[in-house]
A = this chain, B = another copy of it.
């Protein structure tokens, strides 16, 4: 198998687990948070910074790279690793999520989806085969099957048809995938908020034997209890010897809830997106750095953080950068926020190994100053 999952320990308290995933570009420890490099760059950052942050795997977006610079150019560059100068593992999504969240005038057929580009308006077509062709050209270590990601809420009737199509597309992806020796393919469990469809989809995908399993269609506006409920339905069905990836989830609370339920992998644009607007995640909750209270605060953003930003800069300076519209502010807060989530998963790992995950989770919740029902956490 091109992607190997090694289970190291199962929690005695809950379904949490620690392990390692080996890809053609290295071994990474799970649970793991993956920073998102949408357009072939984790916004503002370079390789050495991501190494220092502890990033062992990052994400690229098929939809964006397909349109700019185009997968053929990335292929000619020797693949995405070489093109963007990244030497560790890369995971790419299938383009499916962007087609359903960004693109305009979708027209869904059995063969694939016709749609217009979200900016240029250009007419495009994406199918399981084309998604595989693009991801094969990008050469990412872990690739995703092309799925439909219906909106929330949606009827049981529609979701049932959609899940069946997603399953047929998953089979076509397995057939179309041309680089099985170097790239592992994950199947994506859909089914919305419906127990029967989630379980059905998971069972059917497991029969097809993917290199790992993703849980999609979450973080689309549904309440957090539903997200956790979906995990309670799906994760027990997934094989113990394969990685499990909850797509697009990046708030600290939701990550910890999912780790508790046995998920290994996470990604989200949240840390870099809120960094751009001057918001930091800290051990004591969110900090809006432009606030007047930080004008003469010459202490680091987070006293408990070991990142480059916290070791070298004060809140007063970071506030100044944002007040002055200096891009260095975005860069430093991106470093901090990604490190915050990578560190969160590192600490979760330690806690699971020492069978104190639930108390660790509790402690983080309390220090963040929020409760489990807070949607933003």
Contacts and interface: CB of A to CB of B under 8 A. Distances in A.
Interface string A299-327: 00000000010001110110111011011
A312 B314 CA distance: 30
A2 interface: no
B330 A69 contact: no
A128 to B, nearest CB: 26
B326 A77 contact: no
B43 A298 contact: no
A83 B317 contact: yes
Interface residues of A, number: 36
A296 B73 CA distance: 7
A68 interface: yes
**Could you say how many copies of this chain the assembly holds?**
2
A182 interface: no
A295 B76 CA distance: 11
A44 B328 contact: yes
Nearest to A334: B327
A41 B321 contact: yes
Nearest to A67: B324
Contact of A85 (B39, B47, B68, B313): B313
A82 to B, nearest CB: 9
A316 B44 contact: no
Given A330-B327, A331-B331, A320 B68 contact: yes
A364 interface: no
A312 B41 CA distance: 13
A324 B83 contact: no
A177 B261 CA distance: 66
Contacts of A326: 39, 41, 43
Nearest to A295: B73
A44 B314 contact: no
Interface in A33-71: 39-41, 43-47, 64, 68-69
8 contacts: A39-B320, A39-B324, A41-B328, A44-B328, A73-B320, A83-B316, A327-B327, A331-B331
Interface of A: 39-41, 43-47, 64, 68-69, 73, 76-77, 83-85, 295-296, 298, 308, 312-314, 316-317, 319-321, 323-324, 326-328, 330-331
